[in-house]
Amino acid sequence: MSKLTSRQKQAIATKLKITEVATELFRSNKFESVKIQDICDAAGISIGAFYHHFKSKSEIIDIGYEQIDLLFQEQYEYKAFESNVESIKYLLGEVGAFLQELGWFFMSEAYKYLISYNPKYTFCTDRFVYSQVLTSVQLGVQNCELKCIDISELELSNTIMRVLRGDIIDWFLREGNYDLKDKILYDFNLIITNFIH
């Protein structure tokens, strides 16, 4: 990925600001009860500015995920890791920390939307988090860090992503009563231990 321009970063920042404001509103109100005008008023933007970045209120969640992935990707690409397993741990930990910051209530509202929306961005295999987990698993096998004997690299990656989604859902169903990042890393370690050479 080429380095983001200042204009691209500004567009991402604006989208994230709208997403952040909307998130605060979604935290204290049901998703359905928040109006676009409420979001615009809270963000200090016009309706036209809102529609420049989003087609609808629902798209805030989808585009928000995409923008978050772009920021994760840029942050990730400038990191050095001791191993491919460490690179996956870092990425999953960042996801957990960020979602925990958004809060369990918002994530429960977001998942209600994601479950009913097609295509489901959270399942997209070309999104950064998924593709990087798969790449790191493949490189881990190539470099003899990981062994995949009875399972393919693709299936191991899919399992990691299923457990990640399961942890997120369990966390908001329990109203955020534990540290999401710690739980994600704990569960990842349980899985990956069986595949380390």
Is there a single domain that holds both residue 31 and residue 103?
A: no
Question: Does residue 182 lie in a domain region?
Answer: yes
Is there a single domain that holds both residue 54 and residue 85?
A: no
Using CA atoms, how far apart are residues 10 and 116, in angstroms rounded to an integer?
30
pLDDT, tens digit, for every residue of 25-77? 877 777 778 999 999 999 988 899 899 888 888 788 776 667 677 777 888 88
- Total domain count for the chain? 2
Domain containing residue 6: 1-59
Using CA atoms, how far apart are residues 133 and 157, in angstroms rounded to an integer?
6
Using CA atoms, how far apart are residues 120 and 165, in angstroms rounded to an integer?
13
Is there a single domain that holds both residue 112 and residue 27?
A: no
Instruction: Report yes or no on whether pTM surpasses 0.85.
Output: no
pLDDT, tens digit, for every residue of 114-146? 777 655 666 677 788 999 999 999 999 999 999
Q: Please name which of 1, 29, 17 lies closest in space to residue 106, comparing C-alpha atoms.
A: 29
- The CATH number of the domain where 39 resides is what? 1.10.10.60
Which residues pair with residue 146 across a beta bridge?
Answer: 196
